[in-house]
Amino acid sequence: MKLKVEQLTHVLKTDSFSTYWLTGEEPLLLQEAADTIRKHYQGLGFADREIFNVENGYRWEEFTQSARNLSLFSEKKIFELRLAISKLDEEGKKAINAYLDEGNSSFIMLITSRKLDAGVMNTKWFKNIQPKIALVQIWPISKDKLANWLSKRLISEGINTDTQALQLLSDKVEGNLLAAIQEIEKLKLLTNKNEDVSINLDSKLVMQVIADSSRYSVYSLVDAALTGNPGRCQKILAALRDEGLFPLLIVNAITRELRLLLPMIEKKAQGQDVNAIMQTHHVWFSRKQAVSNALHCLQVEDIWKILDKCRNIDHAIKGLSSSNPWDELSKVVLELSGVKTASMMRVG
Question: pLDDT tens digit string along 44-71?
Answer: 999 888 999 999 889 999 998 888 776 5
What pLDDT is attached to residue 162?
Answer: 83
Which CATH number is associated with domain 218-347?
1.20.272.10
What pLDDT is attached to residue 333?
Answer: 93
The radius of gyration computed from the CA coordinates of the chain, to the nearest angstrom, equals 24
Q: How far apart are CA 170 and CA 236, in angstroms?
A: 14
Q: How far apart are CA 293 and CA 285, in angstroms?
A: 14
Q: How far apart are CA 78 and CA 18, in angstroms?
A: 10
Give the pLDDT band (50/70/90) at residue 348. very low
* Domain positions in the chain: 2-138, 143-209, 218-347
Give the pLDDT band (50/70/90) at residue 344. very low
Digit-coded pLDDT (tens) for 147-175: 899 988 888 887 888 888 888 888 878 87
Of the chain, the percentage scoring pLDDT greater than 70 comes to 90
Task: Provide the CATH topology of domain 143-209.
Answer: Helicase, Ruva Protein; domain 3 (1.10.8)
What pLDDT is attached to residue 81?
Answer: 95
Digit-coded pLDDT (tens) for 83-117: 988 789 999 999 999 999 887 778 999 999 998 88
Which CATH number is associated with domain 2-138?
3.40.50.300
Q: How far apart are CA 169 and CA 162, in angstroms?
A: 11
Region of 55 on the Ramachandran plot (φ > 0 left; ψ -120 to 50 alpha; else beta): beta
What pLDDT is attached to residue 213?
Answer: 63
DSSP 8-state secondary structure symbol assigned to residue 7: G
DSSP code string of 35-91? HHHHHHHHTTT--EEEEEEE-TT--THHHHHHHHHHHTTT--EEEEEEE-SSS--HH
Among the residue ranges 155-159, 247-251, 265-269, the one predicted with the least confidence is: 155-159
Q: Which residues contact 274 (CB under 8 A, 6 or more apart)?
A: 268, 292, 295, 296
Q: How far apart are CA 271 and CA 275, in angstroms?
A: 12
Specify the pTM.
0.62
What pLDDT is attached to residue 178?
Answer: 84
What pLDDT is attached to residue 15?
Answer: 79
